[in-house]
Structure 1
Amino acid sequence: LTRLRLISCISSISASLAGVLLAEDVDTAKLEVRLVGGPNRCSGRVEVLHNGVWGTVCDDQWDLRDAKVVCRQLGCGTALSAPRESKYGEGKDQIWLSDANCKGTEASLTECKARPWGDNVCNHVEDASVECSGTDIPEPGPIRLVGGPNRCAGRVEVLHEEQWGSVCHDDWDLKDAQVVCKQLGCGDAVLAPIGAKFGRGSDTIWLDDVNCTGVEAALAECPARSWGDHNCYHGEDASAICSDSGITASTSVRLVGGPNRCSGRVEVLHNGVWGTVCDDQWDLRDAKVVCRQLGCGTALSALPESKYGEGKGQIWLTDVNCTGTEASLTECEAKPWGVHICNHVEDASVECSVVDIPEMGPVRLVDGPHKCAGRVEVLHENRWGSVCDDDWDMKDAEVVCKQVGCGSPLSALGGARYGRGPDVIWLDDVQCNGTEESIFDCQARPWGEHNCYHGEDADVVCAGN
């Protein structure tokens, strides 16, 4: 056993020197976990995905609190047991995690304290397992969501004849997305984006003209053309965003240049770039959808001719034709993304009834992949400083994401996942209940009082981008 541990240690050091085990190289929002070798998807050997490779978890310090996090992350109910010593068989290749030390409240295994990726003195005889209560959750079946932040949002792909393929967005709406979300056990449909919002598929297009009523148990039960019969291209791939993804309808639209966040020039997010909407055919029904999407009440007016200033860069949408009942502007009929004969003098605006939403406060997210993910920094005495990750959890992240206008939290991360702050550490032992309007309303130690170093800087990943 000593010899095996030594070999494992040497392998770990070699891999680290090769540069494949650096935590900062990981897109933590897309971390995956699975249970292998068990009687169902909610029991088995724990495996995590890192740098595109699946690996096991060592059972050193493995207990029911760690298992609780895995069960929650998989939507498998509560943890019944945390078996050690490879109860569900020995894994192969990498052992990714060891000495996992979860509190039990984390949303993801990566939020738990543990040794660095691949750093362990274990062998596969010590592979950790879990057994969860939720064995009655429906199998995902031959359908998946690809390219999104987690398994409950992304491009819709279906399995047919052992080949994955996408779904064309012709007639795609919230009823179709509802069936997908229910089939995956991801809650209710929030949005049914069209136009390959989560990237274009690379293989066949299996379904077209899907027309679900919303009560079907699987997408394959909905009326549609025959398998593989379509008149589409991958720029028309359909997507679904489900409630369990943490994404809200408001993350893909914003109002700019107005007196508050509920009035201004309409801008929509596409392919990671914000752009404006042309005022051709822009009317109160379109404005009504925008106001509802932002949680801004009813539409008071739909204004043409850049009332709130001319935008820059892309003009994404034109000839928008909403019925007024859609949950999102992207569900309305319109010309394809970026196709128009407009200029920014024609940028559309809206004015909504609600204006009493709090503005963003002195908090920011730094060094992340986009404005809604990064190291949490707060402003105090005209100086930006970081937050220690002691007691940092999803309730704290919920307050921060809301405060910076980035929707719901996807992850509450510690260990300086987005780099170490260069200056003071302002807050420690932050304990929000999740309903506060600002992180400054949460309980914490006095300003500047902590027992931390910048390797413990707190981070968040929010649903907005």
Structure 2
Amino acid sequence: VKLLDGTSLCSGRLEVKSNQRWSSVCEADFDQQDAEVVCRELGCGAPSVLQGALYGEVEAPMWTKEFQCGGQESALLDCRSSGSARNTCSPGKAVGLTCSEPDDVRLVGGASRCAGTLELKQGDWRPVSDLISVWTLKTAASVCRELDCGSAVSVGDRKESSDRPVWRIISDCVQPGSALRECVTSSFYSSSIVDLTCSGKQVTINDCHLINLQ
């Protein structure tokens, strides 16, 4: 399975590969339990949005049978499917799916969950190395956004007393809407790691008027 034309690895128009051919899936043949299986198979978090044509319409062939997943399967093609085949699917009804991002980025050791040492999970949790010339506030802002922690306040390096396993990140790859895990290049040992402080989740209040009661 794959998700195409979305904003990250965990969102897009669903396509399924069978017999060397990729097919889109009709919304009528797909439900929440099926979505849970797809998100799990892709290594993403739980499904948050399931809507036809959310990520564009397509001329690709349509999957012709209804998926009947229980929700616990590890792969979509492990699910049972209906015996009857569907020949048509209404325009605008190709499945678009958004899964939540996996919980694979965190800040630890700070005053709140939005400050501290930047750590990334790729099998195991390790800090991210710091190359001070490339970790800018703009790069850090994308990480704060991914963590739902507002904007970046500061980013810098912290020297530890000894080397430890760390992840190396291509900082130019870190963009708004991308996931930090997509930018990992390698693991090595270093004593220089990223410390990051975000502003915290922002609350926007529109059209409010303050009234002084005398």
Q: Please, what TM-score do these two structures have when normalized by structure 1?
A: 0.25
Distance in 2 between residues matched to 1:198 and 1:241, nearest whole Å = 10
Alpha-carbon spacing, 1:234–1:151, altered in 2? closer, same or farther (3 Å)? farther
Alpha-carbon spacing, 1:188–1:149, altered in 2? closer, same or farther (3 Å)? same
Residue 170 of structure 1: which of 11, 28, 34 is its match? 28
Alpha-carbon spacing, 1:216–1:234, altered in 2? closer, same or farther (3 Å)? farther
Residue 41 of structure 2: which of 177, 183, 206 is its match? 183
Q: Which residue of 1 aligns with 2:136?
A: 390
One-letter amino acid of the counterpart of residue 44, structure 2: C
Alpha-carbon spacing, 1:240–1:411, altered in 2? closer, same or farther (3 Å)? closer
Q: 1:196 Cα shift?
A: 1.5
Q: 1:226 Cα shift?
A: 5.2
Q: Give the secondary structure class of the aligned counterpart of 1:181.
A: helix
1:90-121 Cα deviation digits (max 9, x unpaired): xxxxxxxxxxxxxxxxxxxxxxxxxxxxxxxx
Q: Give the secondary structure class of the aligned counterpart of 2:101.
A: helix
Residue 61 of structure 2: which of 204, 207, 231 is its match? 204
Q: 1:158 Cα shift?
A: 0.6
CA contact (8 A) 1:207 1:226 kept: no
One-letter amino acid of the counterpart of residue 156, structure 1: L
CA contact (8 A) 1:165 1:204 kept: yes
Q: How does 1:344-355 map to 2 (within 5 A)?
A: none
CA contact (8 A) 2:23 2:60 kept: yes
Q: Which residue of 1 aligns with 2:88?
A: 231
Distance in 2 between residues matched to 1:208 and 1:434, nearest whole Å = 48
Alpha-carbon spacing, 1:198–1:155, altered in 2? closer, same or farther (3 Å)? same
Aligned residues with identical type, % of pairs: 30
Q: Which residue of 2 aligns with 1:265?
A: none
Q: 1:396 Cα shift?
A: 4.2
One-letter amino acid of the counterpart of residue 189, structure 1: P
Q: 1:228 Cα shift?
A: 6.1
CA contact (8 A) 2:68 2:82 kept: no
Q: 1:204 Cα shift?
A: 0.7
Distance in 2 between residues matched to 1:234 and 1:241, nearest whole Å = 20
One-letter amino acid of the counterpart of residue 435, structure 1: G
Distance in 2 between residues matched to 1:164 and 1:227, nearest whole Å = 20
Residue 410 of structure 1: which of 177, 180, 201 is its match? 177
Q: Residue 216 in 1 paired to residue 73 in 2?
A: yes
Q: 1:187 Cα shift?
A: 2.1
Larger C-alpha radius of gyration, 1 or 2? 1
- Please identify which structure carries the higher strand content: 2
Q: Which residue of 2 aligns with 1:128?
A: none
One-letter amino acid of the counterpart of residue 187, structure 1: G
Q: Which residue of 2 aligns with 1:432?
A: 197
Distance in 1 between residues matched to 2:94 and 2:8, nearest whole Å = 18
Distance in 1 between residues matched to 2:5 and 2:93, nearest whole Å = 15
Q: 1:432 Cα shift?
A: 3.4
CA contact (8 A) 2:68 2:81 kept: yes
CA contact (8 A) 1:165 1:205 kept: yes
Distance in 1 between residues matched to 2:137 and 2:77, nearest whole Å = 45
Distance in 2 between residues matched to 1:206 and 1:145, nearest whole Å = 15
One-letter amino acid of the counterpart of residue 179, structure 1: V
CA contact (8 A) 1:166 1:207 kept: no
CA contact (8 A) 1:192 1:241 kept: yes
- Please identify which structure carries the higher helix content: 1
1:120-156 Cα deviation digits (max 9, x unpaired): xxxxxxxxxxxxxxxxxxxxxxx10111112210111
Q: Which residue of 2 aligns with 1:345?
A: none
Q: Residue 399 in 1 paired to residue 158 in 2?
A: no
Q: Give the secondary structure class of the aligned counterpart of 2:16.
A: strand
Distance in 1 between residues matched to 2:55 and 2:137, nearest whole Å = 34
Q: 1:399 Cα shift?
A: 0.7
Alpha-carbon spacing, 1:223–1:231, altered in 2? closer, same or farther (3 Å)? farther
Extract unaligned runs of 5+ from structure 2: 104-134, 153-175, 180-195, 204-214
Distance in 2 between residues matched to 1:144 and 1:169, nearest whole Å = 16
Q: 1:232 Cα shift?
A: 1.4
Alpha-carbon spacing, 1:210–1:158, altered in 2? closer, same or farther (3 Å)? same
Paired residue total: 128
One-letter amino acid of the counterpart of residue 56, structure 2: G
Distance in 1 between residues matched to 2:15 and 2:29, nearest whole Å = 16
Alpha-carbon spacing, 1:201–1:245, altered in 2? closer, same or farther (3 Å)? farther
Q: Which residue of 1 aligns with 2:160?
A: none
Q: Please, what TM-score do these two structures have when normalized by structure 2?
A: 0.50
Q: Give the secondary structure class of the aligned counterpart of 1:192.
A: strand
Distance in 1 between residues matched to 2:9 and 2:83, nearest whole Å = 27
One-letter amino acid of the counterpart of residue 2, structure 2: R
CA contact (8 A) 1:145 1:240 kept: yes
Q: How does 1:319-398 map to 2 (within 5 A)?
A: 390-392=136-138, 393=140, 394-397=142-145, 398=149
Alpha-carbon spacing, 1:176–1:223, altered in 2? closer, same or farther (3 Å)? same
Q: 1:212 Cα shift?
A: 1.5
Q: 1:434 Cα shift?
A: 5.0
